[in-house]
Chains A and B, each alone.
Chain A
Amino acid sequence: MTLPTFLTLDFAPMATAAFCAATCAMLGSWLLLRRMSLLGDAISHSVLPGLVAAFVVTQSRSPLPMFLGGATAGVVAAALIELVRRAGKLDSGTAMGVVFSASFALGLVMIRRVEGTMSADLDADCVLYGELSRILWQPPAGTTHLSVAGIGSIPREFIAAGTGTLVTFAAIVALRKELTAAAFDHAFAVTTGLRPGLVSTVLVVLVAASVVSSFEAVGSILVIALLVCPAAAARFLTDRLGVQLVLSVVIGVACAVLGYILAAAAPEIVGLPGAVSPSGSIAVCTGGALVLAILAGPRHGVIARGWRWLDLASRVAAEDRLARLYRESESTGSRVVERERFEPRVSAWVAFVSAWKLRRQGLIENTSKGPQLTGSGLVRAAELVRAHRLWESYLVENVGLRPDHVHDTAMRLEHLPPRLEPELSAELDPHNRPIPPRTSP
Chain B
Amino acid sequence: MGYNTAVVAAGCVLLGVACGIIGCFASLRKRAVLADALGHATLPGIAAAYLVAPSLGLASRSTPVLFVGAAAGAGLGAVAVGLLLRTGRLRADAAVSAVLSVFFGAGVLLLSIIQRLDRGDQGGLSHLLLGQTAAMSRSDAVTIGVLALAATSVVGLLFKEFRSLCFDTDFAAVQGWPVRFLDFVLMFLITLVVVVGLQAVGLLLVVALLVIPAASARFWSNRLGWVLMAGAVIGGVSGLAGAMGSASIDRVPIGGAIVLCSAGLFVLSMVAGPARGLIPMWSRGKHLGSPPR
Using CB atoms and an 8 Å cutoff, list the residues of chain A in contact with chain B: 32, 35-38, 40-41, 84, 87-91, 93-98, 101-102, 104-106, 108-109, 112-113, 115, 124-125, 128-129, 219, 221-225, 227-229, 231-232, 235-236, 263, 267, 272-274, 276-277, 279-284, 286-287, 290, 294, 300, 302
Contacts and interface: CB of A to CB of B under 8 A. Distances in A.
Interface string B207-225: 1100110110011000000
Contacts of A90: 215, 218
Nearest to A294: B87
8 contacts: A87-B270, A93-B92, A96-B33, A97-B208, A109-B252, A221-B104, A277-B112, A284-B106
A279 B130 contact: no
Nearest to A226: B101
Contacts of A37: 91, 93-94, 96-98
B263 A98 contact: yes
A284 B36 contact: no
Contact of A280 (B100, B109, B129): B109
Given A38-B33, A128-B108, A281-B105, 9 more contacts: A89-B276, A97-B33, A97-B215, A128-B204, A223-B101, A225-B102, A276-B113, A290-B102, A294-B87
Given A109-B253, A222-B104, A283-B106, A94 B32 contact: yes
A93 B98 contact: no
B150 interface: no
Contacts, number: 205
A113 B133 CA distance: 12
Q: Is the interface of B mostly helix, strand, loop or mixed?
A: helix
Contact of A94 (B27, B110, B204, B255): B27
Contact of B112 (A40, A98, A280): A280
Q: Is the interface of A mostly helix, strand, loop or mixed?
A: helix
Interface in B96-146: 96-98, 100-113, 116-117, 126, 129-130, 133
A102 B253 contact: no
Nearest to B40: A221
Given A108-B130, A276-B109, A228 B98 contact: yes
B138 to A, nearest CB: 23
Nearest to A218: B105
B212 A102 contact: yes
Interface in B47-89: 84, 87, 89
A98 B109 contact: no
Interface string B3-37: 00000000000000000000000010010110010
B112 A232 contact: no
B113 A235 contact: no
Interface centre among A32, A35, A109, A231 (most CB of B within 10 A): A109
B154 interface: no
A277 B204 contact: no
A279 B96 CA distance: 19
Given A101-B207, A279-B108, A88 B270 contact: yes
B212 A97 contact: yes
B97 A228 contact: yes
B278 interface: yes
A37 B36 CA distance: 14
B281 to A, nearest CB: 9
Nearest to B270: A88
Contacts of B147: none
B105 A279 contact: yes
Contacts of A223: 101
